[in-house]
Chain A
Amino acid sequence: KAGVTQTPRYLIKTRGQQVTLSCSPISGHRSVSWYQQTPGQGLQFLFEYFSETQRNKGNFPGRFSGRQFSNSRSEMNVSTLELGDSALYLCASFRAEKTDTQYFGPGTRLTVL
């Protein structure tokens, strides 16, 4: 079974630009979560989608948004990039009823210059 895939793997942007990251969950998984990982803050929860609906949201500004499509693929968008948005963005998919089987993708490394 293919794992969680994320594209692109690496991205370099400049302040003020916007970026869109993509995540394809494991086949059959209907929930997708997004996390930001930085050395200073660790893994921080951004939001979670199930059946195209945002079910949970972390404590991030409105510049961070996401969506999920009918095939469970998800995208997250960051507008008006700031230097502090440089991080590894991780996507995880899991069966809706159990979080013990949460599987992470390899992440997208975003660098904001």
Chain B
Amino acid sequence: QKEVEQDPGPLSVPEGAIVSLNCTYSNSAFQYFMWYRQYSRKGPELLMYTYSSGNKEDGRFTAQVDKSSKYISLFIRDSQPSDSATYLCAMSGERSYIPTFGRGTSLIVHP
């Protein structure tokens, strides 16, 4: 079992839909949780960063962390075709700040 599990998709939704992307993990030492967006032929860019449990909102994006279930989510409201990309979750602990990445979920938002 990999430390971080993420469904590769693809996830196809119509424009305007609410998108839910998820990751599960097994290492209870993880404290920092991140979501990256990667467009084709580009490097990943940091979207959201959360410490420990709870919610964080930034515009149309909301990140949720449930440490008791070892489950994190990224919600995208009013999805746009420009949101079409691969979304990677990543997490790290207090001792090792090198993040462990999920394999990424490919999201396609069609007009």
Contact = CB atoms under 8 A, between A and B. Distances in A.
A101 B46 contact: yes
A100 B34 contact: yes
B25 interface: no
Interface string B79-111: 000000000101010001111111110000000
A10 to B, nearest CB: 10
Contact of A42 (B42, B45, B49, B101): B101
Interface string A54-73: 00100000000000000000
B4 to A, nearest CB: 9
B41 interface: yes
Interface in A86-113: 90, 92, 99-107
A99 B103 contact: no
What does DSSP make chain A's interface, helix, strand, loop or mixed?
strand
Nearest to A101: B46
Contact of B104 (A33, A42, A56, A102): A42
A44 B90 CA distance: 11
Interface in A42-59: 42-45, 48, 56
A4 interface: yes
Interface of B: 32, 34, 36, 41-46, 49, 88, 90, 92, 96-104
Interface of A: 4, 33, 35, 41-45, 48, 56, 90, 92, 99-107
The 10 nearest A-B residue pairs measured at CB: A104-B43, A42-B103, A43-B101, A100-B49, A99-B97, A104-B44, A106-B43, A105-B43, A107-B43, A56-B98
